[in-house]
Structure 1
């Protein structure tokens, strides 16, 4: 798309949680320290909660990538599972040999035997659940029951829950009070400050191979922060559109008008005061025209080949 125009080796503002682009923001650094400390302490449930787009999945993947070898992990990226499906998934992740007879009791026993073996090898099992707010009530309770597996002296596994604020709302109910009392460490992810948005944008451009003059002025960064509310995912969406707009115009420096165009064309952002219907129409037309132009360039290149 626009990599050659800016001298990039890859797209810097994709929505895929790519750990190579991880920027150590204050909130993410603190959350990661809480997770590591909690795991070393060897206690029960750990919870990280953050609004949509604040980087929970990226932090989750960073944790899985950087845990020392003494941790054996089971990752549940899609928790919308029945209790039996969840137990089967955990068994596969922990490389448990499934019993020949289809029995929930035998499968649970096999999981416990595997956890005991992991413990005897001086290792610790960790179940990491992303999007934990989507866990059905029965599966959430089943997860609590699995956490009961222990020896006389120590827990056999940790359970780390990453979820949206709805997770806290569910845990606050009487139905889940037993699980709520077992959460020994928790952290709430915050959105980025203006200074962090500036560092975040610069960091991602650098990782993507950009070494030119600064493209984002302080005024532009403040507008991006205002529009996105400091949410990393929305910052990515806006910055991607800003690079597309400048690429379409053949320029490099991002202007406030570019931000207004991108904001007017993006869902779930706060529009600056000066932004109105005209900016919305202009932004939509500009991005649509750029899309057509980019498609034509690709068609022409294919034709010439």
Structure 2
């Protein structure tokens, strides 16, 4: 209705996925590249999680278009399949010849034979499973068993799970630990911030044919950002209604009046994203936040304590300073730190992050719970032992995911092509954790 009024050739804010309108900002493009890399170079299960309306289906559709030609793609959109039905569905997509009423064991054996043949021909079979959070537990267990299909030292089937945050809750259950251990890459679609929303709206308008100045005023952007919580489906709904309101009044700009009209006409669930966090996880979030603050403070204090005139590499023993035995705190301060490489690389990471542009890239080597300091220290020690360039390895601390974590990263690259090439050239000691590219802005 408003197409001619704004000089558009098609609707810019449809909620059905249209891959020409894929927005690669807000880390979407980087996530897509990392997914492509993980699928074509990995041998484990990949998981993508995000809130309702965060853009998972769009990402999945674009991924399907950009996978290389040697991949046989299977897309399962029905989450209510039983474990046997899922086997039959995969067999049907691969057009396997099976007798009527074939037992699941026969289907699995026939599937494995077909996968071995495909692998020998240089083809890879990838199964994309949408709405995985709604799958029965026994079907998720079948996914784990499918991930065991292999020939020699190579997995025969690559599985990618797309689901809402409830999938993470399911995988956290004790009876799901075997499946969770097989997930080698976890990607999360974060909500868009206000600057991202401005770029997103402008991108979709111009993709639909608009050629004028920005339509949405700062006041309208603020209202859309607050109401949408950064979820792309909500943004689309609000933007479409706001454009219609502007057309009705003959205006070529969307201001607070039009945005308010769109908000009044929209009824969004109060259980989604921010509100759900507030009501369901408030106590947990506060507790984790306090723990994160305490851990950051402790890390800072330890790092600060390692800057005295006496080099940290020369520990002072208690025998040289008898008084230290009566003062444990002094002993811990003057002795060599328990995890010297972590502290050294955290300091290097902080210095690097302070001066590195947002659009630069790095390689994410590993991330783990902040309680696993010994494992992080061992990883760094092993990297040094294998002659990896320790000056290119950095450690950061983050609680953005709601849980205090250490991340180990590598390198500094100005382009995406450069970081992808660098991943292929990494020492073997750094490839064991399935590294992938990320952009600096995601650490801030």
Which piece of structure 1 moves more, 238-247 or 5-14? Answer: 5-14
The residue that corresponds to 1:183 in the other structure is: 183
Q: Distance in 2 between matches of 1:27 and 1:131?
A: 22
Q: How does 1:275-290 map to 2 (within 5 A)?
A: none
Instruction: Give the Å deviation of 1:102.
Output: 2.1
Query: How far 1:32 moved relative to its partner?
Result: 1.4
What is aligned with 2:148?
148
Q: Deviations over 1:86-144 (max 9, x none)?
A: 11111122232223552212111111111111100112111111111011111111111
User: Which residue of structure 1 aligns with residue 8 of structure 2?
Assistant: 8
Superposition TM-score, scaled by structure 1 size: 0.85
CA distance in 1, matches of 2:152, 2:224: 54
- Partner of residue 38, structure 1: 38
- 1:1-305 correspondence runs (5 A): 1-100=1-100, 102-268=102-268
- Work out the number of aligned pairs and report it: 270
Residue 212 of structure 1 and its aligned partner are, at CA, apart by 2.5
TM-score by length of 2: 0.59
Where structure 1 has 5 or more consecutive residues not aligned to the other structure, the ranges are 271-305
2:421 alignment counterpart: none
The CA distance in 1 between the partners of 2:207 and 2:95, in whole Å, is 36
Question: Gapped runs of 5+ residues in structure 2?
Answer: 271-444
Deviations 1:32-63 (A, max 9, x none): 13212212332110001111111001101111
Q: C-alpha displacement at 1:69, in angstroms? A: 0.9
Secondary structure of 2:161 counterpart: strand
Return 27-36 or 72-81, whichever deviates more.
Answer: 27-36
Q: Which residue of 2 aligns with 1:273?
A: none
CA contact (8 A) 1:15 1:236 kept: yes
- Bigger CA radius of gyration: 2
Partners of 1:245 and 1:181 lie apart in 2 by 50
RMSD between superposed Cα atoms in Å: 1.5
Q: Contact 1:15–1:233 at 8 Å: present in 2 too?
A: yes
* Structure 1: distance between partners of 2:164 and 2:125: 24
Runs of 4+ deviating beyond 3 Å: none
Cα distance between partner residues in 2 of 1:96 and 1:10: 41
Higher strand share: 2
Q: Is the 8 A contact 1:52 1:164 kept in 2?
A: yes
1:269 deviates by 7.7
Deviates further, 1-10 or 165-174: 1-10
